[in-house]
Structures are given as C-alpha cells and as structure tokens.
Chains A and B, each alone.
Chain A
C-alpha cells in the first residue's frame, strides 16, 4: 500500500492520482477567462466586468483575469487545460440540485451515490485502504458517498487521532481496543449503525497511518493563509507521504457572488490560483508532481447580465485541468456571448458535457472504465500528453 506513489527514487511505478477542487457557489467563468474583445460581454456587464487593461491575453479573444496571474503562469508553462463551456442540458439554477447533479452524474433523477465513491470502489474494491479517497474538510461531499465505500475526511491533519488526550496510556490502549469491538458491523443492526461502525473502524486505521505525517513533512513552499491554501497543503502533505491515496477532494467556498462581486471575486480567484501554483511547486519539490492531475470545477456559471453589483445563477461554466502531463490549451468551445445565442435569452449555452470531462479523467488518467461511473458514454477530450498508465 504505502510507497507506491510517494516521493520515491523515481524507479518505482507511480499510480495516477486525481485531486478535485470544488468551487462552491458557482464561479463566474466569464470573469475568470474573459472574452475581452467581445462588445456583447461589456454590454451585458456594464458594472461587473473585467476591463481590457486588466486582462492577461492568451489569444486575440480570451485572457485571464489578471488576479489569476499565477494560473496564467501555469497555463504558459503548458500545464493547464481549460474546458470551456462545461455543463449539461437544462442546467439547474439551484445550488442544491446543481451540486447534486455534478456529484451523482444524474441530471434527471435523484441518486445518493457519488461518482468519486464509485471510482474509489473501482480502485479499492475490498476497501483495504480507508485512505484511497481523502476529503479535506469536515463532512464528506456527496460525490464521495456510497453504501459500502470508505472515504476519509480530515479537517485538521495536525490533531488527527482518537482519544489522544487520555493521559494514561493503559486506558487509551484498552479503550481503543474496546472501541474497535463496539464499532464492528453486525447482522441486523440496520444501515445507519452499519455505516457508523465501519466509519469508526476506518477512523482507527487512518489515524494510525496519518499520525506521523505532520512531523515528517518539510517544504520550502510557503502557502498563503486562505482556507483553500491550507487544504491543498494538507493534500500535498498526505500525497508526498505515500500512503496510497488516489483521489483527493478539497472545497473552496464563497463563489456565490450575487453582490459585491467586484470586491469578492478577485480575492477568491487570487487565493485559489495562488494556492494551486504553490501546490504544484510543492509537489515538484518532492518529486511527486507528475502523477497528479487536478480538476477544478464549479456547479454552474453565472448569468450573462450583471445585476448592478453581482451576477445571478446561470449556466455554461468552465473547468480547469492542471498537471505536468496535461497538454495545455483551450478545450471545447467558449460559449457564444452574443445575445442571439443566449440560452433562454439570458444564459451561456454549455458546449461540453461535464460527464465527458469525468470520463476523460477516469479512462485516460485513472485507467478505469468510465461508463458505469458516469452512467453512460460521453464524448471525451484529449488533454494529456502522456499518462502514468502502463
């Protein structure tokens, strides 16, 4: 288990790893990758737009918001694939449903099984390593939840452990032993109790593995103070320790910019892109970058027109794939911002199904069959120059 994808000597085969970063609330894609030569964009956004002089062009049509300069830097290195116009038919404007749809791959009905959980089941069918899937934060995202699938949530890597404050070692040892027995799934005790028992057992195992990590990690990279920077640093600490984690999940909150967008959105974007850049640098320093692909996604884009101080829920967002083996560039098509092309007269039309992006990552990067995980077959992208697969 351990060591297969760590900072080894470069000889061992490294398993591919997926890091998912969720931007909760609906990132405004148009103000992230800006169509800075489109009059229609500036007409629709009299107040909440990015000025031409504040754009870092990547071609004659599009440029990054200059607060995302560090993402632009990664893009210029050829490490960022932008999936333009990612979405799905009849995009939900509900955060609730919207996120659910992304998490379960079920736009038309309710499912409680997450796509990442299915991936974990595929990678570790017997649930041998509770750290195969790791969520940074408290509360598992629905994407990682499914009956019988184990994933570990870590809110503070530095204090992770059970009954660590019991002073008497003898009592702690005995209690952990009894805890293990009390948290043994048993026949006929019901689904929730089964889940609780399994979770209790997994927490014992993962605490044993994670305990020593903070003391052994060193890095010259100094991450910023934002929550997402702290989360990505934890991903780096766990990944570089080589404990067999194949999927990481991290969340960034606050992207629901109905108001005060000109103040809030740049701050969020700057924190996020800085953290991503630091993260990649940190991994490279540990010779642990090439096996990692990062997916940054959000539940929907925002409305074409601004509302004077922000933007309302829309559709047609954008996603980013980041990694050393990513073939940098623009993928799929930027949705047309011309009023005649707006969906329902107010939204961007999506140009690429999100399940196709998941399928791309699952099959080309992780090497598993995507169809049962995303519930169908979808057009894929070709965003990797090289993969870790045999």
Chain B
C-alpha cells in the first residue's frame, strides 16, 4: 500500500507539476512538504530544462518552425524539467490568456509568448498583465495593433476585463471603451504575420502619436489614463482577486463550474476561494505568495483526484510513467501534436480567446478514446525505462498474490487510488494467464506481463483524474 508521505507528495507533484517519475517522487518525499513547496516556488534554484538533449537527438525539431515542433518541445519540457511549477504556471496562464497560432501564424511570437508566461508566471499579477499587454503575440491576437487613437479597436480592452482579470459584471461598456483608448498606440514592430517577413522576432513598440491622451474615466478613477493606469486599477479590484482565485482553484485544486457561470454561481468551496483571494489582496497580487498559500492549505491537500486531467497533463504524465524522454529521449515527439489534437487540446492553439472548457468537459466518447489509446500504447511498451523499472521492482518483491500485485502496480504507477469496480477488474486480469502467453517470471510477472497489466491501469476511469 502507498504510504501517506508518498501519496501527499505525488499529489503535490501532479498539481504543481506534471507528475513524477518514481525516482523523483521518492527523492522529493524524503524532505519536509513545506520545503518541497519552497523549492517549487523558486524555479531559479533548480537547473533549467534539458532542452539541448532533445535538439541533440532530434535536430529537426529545433530547426522546424511549425506547431508540430513547438508543441513537441513544450511537452518535452513538461515531462523533463527540474522546474515543474514554472512549466505548470505557464500552462495555467495559457489557459487563462488563451492565445492561438491559427491567427498569428508566426512561430517566434507564440514561443516568446509562452516564454513570457514561463518567466512571469510567479511574478506579481501587475507585472504579468503589463508584460501581457506588451506581448506581440497578444497584441496581434486581440488586434491591439489595430487599436488607434482615431480608430479604436476594443478587442483587447474587452477581453482584458472579461477574460483576463475581473470577469463579466464588474465593469461597464464605457469602461471597456476607455480601457481600449488607454491602450491605443501599444503595438509591435513587424514582422507579424509570418508572411512575407519570415521568422524574425517581433518586439513591443509604443507609438505616442497613435495614443489617445485625452481625459478618461475607468472604474471610478479619471485622468489622462495610460495602459499602466488601467492595469493598476484592475489589480486593485476585489473582482480581480476573486476571479484569479477561482481560476486557481479550478486549475490547481478541484474542478469547478466554468467561467461564464462565475458571475452568478457561488464557488464549490467559498472559504477556499476567499482564502486565495485574501492572499492575493494581502500580498498586493504576488502570485508566488498566493501559490504558497494554496499548496500549503488543507483544502489543497484534501483534494486528491478531484480534477479531470487536461490532455497536456495526461500526456506528460504518461511520459513521466514510461520515462521514455528521460536521459536519452527515445521518442522524437513528432506525432504528439497529431495525438493531442483529437484529445481536444492543441497547445499554443486554443479554439478561441475563451480558452478550453475544462473539467468533465474534456471528456466525451471521442476524446476519452484518444486518451485511453495514447496511454495504453505508450505504457504498453515493455522496453520503456519506466515500465522496466516497475517490472524490476515487482520482481524484487518475489511472488505475489493477484491482489497484492494490483496494489503494487497502482502504487508504482503514481500512487493511484481506484474504486472497488475497477480494482475487481484489475485483480481478475492479474489472476488470469497472461494474454502474451510468455510470462517469464515464476507466476508470470516479467516485464511483458507487467506492461500488460499497466495497460489496463492507465485505461481505468480513475486514471483520467489528477
């Protein structure tokens, strides 16, 4: 059976990261919980992701400029980084600030956008919004480059308030218009889109002659407001503290109702959301402090397997289990984009600015099939280092009854918890002769046999949860 320290640590690493290999889990679990949280909160104390390895083994992935390559590189990072929370925060903000390649068609800008989320993910929320407003990918995505003093385009102003900070019901149409005016002249140096300018970087550019410098009112303050003033005011709003708190709860703690319901529906756990909102206010919007409160809270620790994994979590988690990307990457990941697309998540290419619908909405009969197929295919490879390691550990424990074998596998596959129905089915599989017909241990528990049972473990309904 799984011990509590391991289970608690595995939970933290599933949420603050993208899962863990068995080796990582045991190393982390030997330290006090609060120390692990501190290390996660300070990514710069750990080495950077081993990006160079992927480029050494699969150089084409570095030179290629296409969503196929960027998604492969990001998934590789998710699975291998020694800074898991940095990657997880980038994924979180990517869900909130959904920006998509299908409009940009410009590789350097979308990768720079995700890099910015990585760099600023744990900064002050004010800094993050400021960087977001200066981010060429975002500026092009929501047309702020078309937002001129004499011809405003309110796309960015509207979504900044509705989707990126406060949520509907906390501001008026006039506030939107004035926010848009405040961001006139915030644009970038070409070249976006890609054609005909090629893959050069785009950089932020402020054009004072295109900025509307008149008196404006926004949420009760007035003056010759600039973009920075709008952001300052947004960050001070109670609505913002609550909106971010609900996003954090939904992504890191437990599945909640979806964003459009927030203006009328109470949170699933109002006290938890208030705790997070208070941390946001008290720390003057310091995301690192808010995350510290979140991971150390009892409501977080109690929320094991309360979230449906998003496809990125599922995929990276499978790679953690098989360890096929660790040390020497054996998969070039070139298919990962095509495999994640039918699961409903094209990274760096969300369907619209509202981002993905999460929780149980990740699951339908088609996406479930894709998730199961992906996990079964990868975990089924008995030669994958992670699968071999599990087989070795099982073999080292000597002959086992089917029940004990199932418990051992659930534990080794990530301290999983399953219901009675699932457990009965797994025990039945463990009791019957191996379908492979070549169990090479005394009671058929060689690597092929273990791979066969692990294929079923990752096909369970419980495996869909983090």
Tell me the bound Cα distance from A142 to B255 in angstroms.
Answer: 17
* Residue of A94, A96, A175, A207 ringed by the most chain B CB atoms within 10 A: A96
Assuming the contacts A253-B102, A256-B352, A307-B146, asked whether A164 and B364 have C-beta atoms less than 8 A apart, the reply is: no
Q: How far is the CB of B368 from chain A (nearest CB, A)?
A: 5
Q: A25-B352, A256-B352, A308-B148 are in contact. Are A199 and B368 (CB under 8 A)?
A: yes
**A181–B357 contact, CB under 8 A?**
no
Instruction: Report Cα–Cα, A130/B421, bound state, in Å.
Output: 23
1/0 per position for A148-181, CB-CB distance to B under 8 A? 0011111110001111111010110011001101
A12 at the interface (CB under 8 A from B): no
Judge whether B369 and A179 touch: CB under 8 Å.
no
B155 in contact (CB, < 8 A): yes
Binds B, one of A51-59, A80-88, A189-197, A351-359: A189-197
Task: Enumerate chain A residues within 8 angstroms of B153, measured Cβ to Cβ.
Answer: 258-259, 307-308, 310, 312
The verdict on A282 contacting chain B, using a C-beta distance below 8 Å, is no
Contacts of B373 in A (CB 8 A): 162-165
- B422 is an interface residue with CB less than 8 A from chain A: yes
Chain B residues near A155: list those with CB within 8 A. 341-342, 366-367, 370
Is the pair A97, B260 in contact by a Cβ cutoff of 8 Å? yes
Least Cβ distance of A297 to chain B in Å? Answer: 16
- Can you list 17 A-B pairs with a CB-CB distance of less than 8 A? A97-B168, A139-B364, A152-B365, A153-B364, A163-B376, A171-B452, A174-B432, A182-B460, A182-B461, A183-B461, A189-B419, A193-B461, A254-B102, A259-B145, A307-B151, A307-B153, A310-B153
Q: Bound state CA distance, A138 and B369, in angstroms? A: 11
Alpha-carbon distance A140/B356, docked complex (angstroms): 12
* A324 CB contacts on chain B under 8 angstroms: none
Chain B residue at smallest Cβ distance from A308:
B151
> What bracket does the count of chain A residues touching chain B fall in?
35 or more
- In the complex formed, the residue of A with least CB distance to B367 is A138
CB-defined contacts of B341 to chain A, threshold 8 Å: 138, 155
Query: Given A168-B436, A254-B103, list of 16 further CB < 8 A pairs?
Result: A110-B263, A110-B265, A138-B367, A139-B362, A139-B367, A140-B361, A153-B364, A155-B367, A164-B373, A199-B365, A200-B365, A200-B461, A258-B143, A259-B143, A259-B146, A308-B148
Interface members, chain A 247-288 (any B CB < 8 Å) = 253-254, 256, 258-259
- Asked whether any CB of chain A lies closer than 8 Å to the CB of B20, the reply is no
Contact with A along B172-199 (1 / 0, CB 8 A): 0000000000000000000000000000
B364 in complex: contacting residue of A25, A140, A171, A192, CB < 8 Å: A140
Residue pair B421, A182 in contact (C-beta under 8 Å): yes
Query: With A and B bound together, what is the CA distance between A184 and B421 in angstroms?
Result: 8
A166 and B342 form a contact (CB under 8 A): no
**A residues 68-109 in Cβ contact with B at 8 Å:** 93-97, 100, 109
The answer to whether B342 touches A24, judged by C-beta atoms less than 8 angstroms apart, is: no
B326 shortest CB reach to chain A, Å: 23
A153 touching B360 in the complex, CB below 8 Å, given contacts A166-B376, A175-B459, A192-B255: no
Known A-B contacts A130-B365, A310-B143; A179 and B459 likewise in contact (beta carbons under 8 Å):
yes
Q: Which residues of A contact B455 (CB under 8 A)?
A: 166, 175
Q: Which of B259, B377, B421, B464 contacts A165 (CB 8 A)?
A: B377
**Cβ contacts under 8 Å, B152 to chain A:** 307
A95-B354, A110-B260 are contacts. A192–B380 as well, Cβ < 8 Å? no
Q: Which residue of B lies closest to A193 (CB)?
A: B461
Query: In the bound complex, how far is the Cα of B367 from the Cα of A308, in angstroms?
Result: 41
A186 within 8 A of B: yes
- List B residues 418-463 near A (Cβ within 8 Å): 419, 421-422, 424-426, 428-429, 432, 435-436, 452, 455-456, 459-461
